Structure 1
Amino acid sequence: MKINFIAILGLWSINLSALKLNTIFLVVPLFLASICCAQGDNSRQIDSLRWFLKENPASYQTKYKIAEILKDDDSASALQYVKTGLVEAKNDKDSYGIGKGLFLLGNFYSDYGYPFKGEQYYRKADTILSALIKSDSSSANLKLWVRNTFNIGVVRSYQGFNEDIYYINKISPIAEKIGFYEIIAKANTNIAIGFFNNGQLKKSHSYFVIGGEQHLKAKDYKSLTINKLIFASCLIQLDSIESAKEKLDFIAPVVDSLALDDKTQLYHTVLAEYYVKKSNYNAALENLELALQLLEGNPIQQNKLPLFMAFIKVYRANKNYKKGLEYAQVSLDLAKFYQNKIIEAELYKEIAYFYSKLNNTNRAFENLANYVTISDSLNIPELEREIIRLETEYQSEKKEREILELTNQNNDVELQLTKKRSQNYVLWSISLGLFFLAGIAYLGYRNIKKREQLKVAELNQLKYEQDSKVYNAMLEGQENERKRLAIDLHDGLAGRLSATRIQLEKLAQNSTAKNNNKRFVEAVKNIDDSLFELRNIAMNLMPETLFRYGLKNAIEDYCTSIGKAAKNTKFILQFYDSGEGLSQKTSLTIYRIFQELINNAVKHAMATEVLVQYLVEDDKISITVEDNGKGFLEAERSKEGGMGLNNLKTRVAFLDGEIDFDSTPNEGTTVHIVINI
């Protein structure tokens, strides 16, 4: 179920056409621009203005100011002040005064739930103001034109036409030029509300943030409060419950500063939505009852409709089907009164649901049939409306041509035929010329695009070749350094350790003391262990087994060596190809990849079982290393990648391969690499 609230600065009504009861809990319509009055002692301000009006009875500006102050408390008097002020402006032939009066009338009727009539006044104001700004583009004139144009988009949205973004685009350049940040902020909040109404919550989230920052920049704190309130509803939809509650708690101290009761009730309605998410239906109902009290006596019954639908949501959730049915029937009466077929259809479906739960099958089917009937009648494609519009334009043009033909029927027929032939020749010539030029332009454009694509492809190829050279030089340098170190360790340090071992053995043979002999034996054992470790290091630096016996034997040898050090680790080797057909450089790179993965599994993951798999199929090498170690999160891998992981990625990239990690904490890690041969 979707609840529909209006969040409009200075103007609050219901955007019924955007409502879809079976989707999201809360839907809000758009900000409407108004001419804001200073807050303060309204009664003293009105008395002062009325005294001035007695002295200057023809002052339409004063009447407009009084109307703006009274519009919330005494709408009838406010409307009368606007109308009399408009008469004075027309008598003075003051375009600005006429435009402003029409604008205020549009606000009044839109505020009280008559968007179509409001649009009519906005359109009249647009005619006056558009002409005015062509001759006088002062900041005041442009601001009024921006407000009026902005509101046309909003009231069109109320009526189900998604044109608000079109009008936002229309006013944005001028609003930015004159520094009208207040309206720009409302525009971004309206875009957020539009995405929110359409269920595009992530996009809505971004625009709420932008709009909030801009409201703050414009020091429009009332609009900022409403932005955060609707944003809280968006966060509830995104299941960011605690973030939503933080915003509601932030709003709570200032919610009473909102001018009208129907604005204050929005806070309690959103808070009720929060409690529904928390399954605290009693708290939700308490807030909805408070919101209903705030709306008592409000002449705009339309504002009660979203609140009643919120009750439906709660009673449906807590399975109080009788109460839910009561509110659904009251909501249906309001939807019929305001002639909104979309909500009427969805409410029939809700009523059918409640009757079915109350075991009244006949009434359930009856209301479901009403839902189907109305839904079918609403399925009029946008294309049909466009065809009707074009057909009307065509008929108008046709009648104009017929009148023209009747006017000229007494002219010389031959002359007319000659002119028509000449016109046809000219038209054909122009058409052929344009067609020829269009063909040349298209071919030229296509050739340019092809050349651009070829250049891009060549640049990509050059980049790939350059990267390959860099990778190759880097890896070759690493391997040469490894080879040098391995030779130095084997021929230098290993030789000296071996010579030292032999000398110790001779000393042990010549020694007569038992204690000395025992120490010699221990020293010899330490040297043997050092030699074993040294040979392992040298083998890792430059694996002779790889070059003599191939990749498979080298990996087996490496796993055996690792297994001696990590006695609790079991290795499972699955080689489905010997790797003999690979170049020495490719074999060495693959060996280093295996080395890094196996070493990570044993030393870092602390695995007790490691699967090592090598497969060649369809000109692709598949490498898999899977362990049952401690695993990791993706964020940890990105944060703690280190040199080993970077080297691994570099080697895979050098072989034109792809690498994929799949890890679960405390369950293990699987690394899969595919290399094109």
Structure 2
Amino acid sequence: MKNRILICVLIAFLCSPSIIGQTTVIIDSLYQVLKATHNDTVKAKSHYELGWYLKLQDLNGAIAHMDSSITIYKELELPGEIALSNFQFSVLYRLSGDYDKALESLTKFQDYVESVKDTANFTYAFYEKGVVYSQKGDLEKALGNFIEANKLSRATRNADMVASTLNSIGIVYIDLKKYDQAITSLKEAESTYKNLGRKDEHLGDVYFQLANAYKNKNELKKCRSYYERALANYQNADSDFGVALVNFQFGLLLNEEGQFRKAIPFFEKAYEIQKRNDYSTELLQTLSNLATAHSELGNLKKSETYLKEGVALNSNSKQHVKELNLELYRLFEKRKKYKEALEYHKVFVVYKDSILNEANIKNINELDKKYQTEKKDKEIATQQLALREQETEIQAKKSQNNFMLGGLVFLIVGTTLLIFLFKQRQKRKNQELLTLKREFQIKTLESLIEGEEKERLRVAKELHDGVNGDLAAIKYKLSSLLEMNNTVIKEAIAMIDDSCKQVRAISHNLIPPSLENFNLLEATQVYCANLNDVSPSIEINFQHLGEDIDIPKKAEVNAFRIIQELVTNAVRHSEASHINVQISAHENIIQITVEDDGKGFDKHTIESDGIGLGNVQSRTDYLNATTDFISNDKGTSYTIDINKELLNGD
């Protein structure tokens, strides 16, 4: 439906009178269809087409057919077709001079295309309104509608319509005597048509209007240049109407400059084309100017011939007929044929009076219309005043309600905010309590670990300085008896040597010298090597992967104790042949893995209060580390992840 409307609207703007004049066969066919059909849709369409094709032959008949068309479409409830009929009504009313009805029909069309979001046809509605206002003489409104049509055509990228609206805007600016603005708009239209590759009558029309603008600015050199460009485009497009129009303008320019002999060939060219195509209105103007040129050159007989030919055309334009009779009066007076001159003067006076009467009637009608309008405006103003008073009262009540509603909203928002703040405060307090509890737990763990380390140091010193010294003394005394070659004594000395090694190992385990002097990696490596010496039945391997480890000394001690505890458990309980210890470091994560190939244990049945595993858990908590372990008949694996960013203390 939208495309069909668009096509028809384009026809409304692009069809010329010469094309419409060749539609007699179509009209006859449409009448035959109306007689034969019983289909309401076909009837409505036929009335619609007749209304369109008859507009230049029988305007009243065209309006009657269009009225029949829209009546049937309303019965059929076809809103798109009703809208299209309203658009065509606007064209018919414009041609009849009833501009108010034309605008009313256009508004109905606009309402429909806007409701269906048909931007393209909305553009043509604004354009047609511009044409109506232009013919009505309301140039400001015409300009506004043409500008709106231009905006919409740009939005829909309809370049042809962009150029067409720019041309119309230029024409209105010429009528408003704003020639520079007219030239700007027309040159943009020229550029748009050129970009489209157009060299037809549309570009010719733009050049023609540019020539008119420069003529009004009295820049005649540019004026002639653009008339020549217009003529070239009209000739290229085989536009007889355009060619005649430009030739007439060239003749008019020469007439105005007093170059009557040079003007005559241009008028004759225009005369020949207009007469051949029956352009009667334009032909009258050409005949009048031809007569003037010949009269000024003294060719009075020739002038009389052209003027009488003009009178014989029986034009509907009283203004043109009046001017022709005035010229004939002057011509015969100049030739001293006073009787003929008087006759033409009488006709001139009759037409002059008729035009004056029509003008007076028109003025009276306009005054009456203005009076009726003012009367209606006064009634509307009174109604509007009453409405304003009602609106003021309603507004006051609305303001009061809004104030109360605002107060209620403020109260609700305030209460909600207070509740939210209270909850936030309570949440902060709970968080602070949790933080304090956490800090207390950390300090407790720290104290326990420090106490354990001190006790280890004390026991290690006691073993090293006390028990180990005593064993050394016993060994010395027993050694002095070796000369007696007593086998039992030799065995006792060997056992004492083993005991010394065990005591030294226990002492080092309790407080390893490597951890005091070196880092976690070195201490762990030394520890694993020592255990290998003490426990030859188990192979203990150490491996380091990734980056060097740089953590606080307390963290190193606790990590080492975890490794020590897990390895000790594996040695004592797992019955394993291999124990692997691995420390890997990447970015902020340190991962400790201790695994063995022993008999494993059930993690669900093992006592949870064991001292060894309890120590591991305490130290893991202190380090804020995570623990994961797997134990089955293939062995046990502990994995501890330490995040350096979560470590406590220095």
Report the TM-score when normalising by structure 1. Answer: 0.40
Is the helix fraction higher in 1 or 2?
A: 2
**RCO higher in structure (CA 8 A, sep ≥6):** 1
CA radius of gyration, larger in: 2
